Structure 1
């Protein structure tokens, strides 16, 4: 979840920066998972539907992707 209000206070078109940052975080998390011998999978959704579930105002925050991490089975 990204605080879009803070990003938009400093940048024009904050959505592009948010999506690029989210992609960079997902790729680094995937490399770290591999290094730790874990399984990692970026999920194919943005996560905006979860904002209300966790109590964040959707006017200010936006979902920026999901990531599943699990242990490898022996």
Structure 2
């Protein structure tokens, strides 16, 4: 998960985590856990699909944000 790119996406669309959480039907705390991958929280396929539709994202952009693998 590339949380920086997700935050940029929200800013580019004049949106915020509160609005996104409401759109997804989850609490802001749950959204924060998913973004920060805390306590094993992950976005479901349905949530990713909703986000893709809301922001008219390409499949490549979805991959960049939700399926980014950081190797250190």
Q: Same fold (TM over 0.5)?
A: no
More helix by share: 2
More strand by share: 1
Which structure is higher in RCO with an 8 Å CA cutoff and minimum separation 6? Answer: 2
Q: TM-score, normalised by structure 2?
A: 0.28
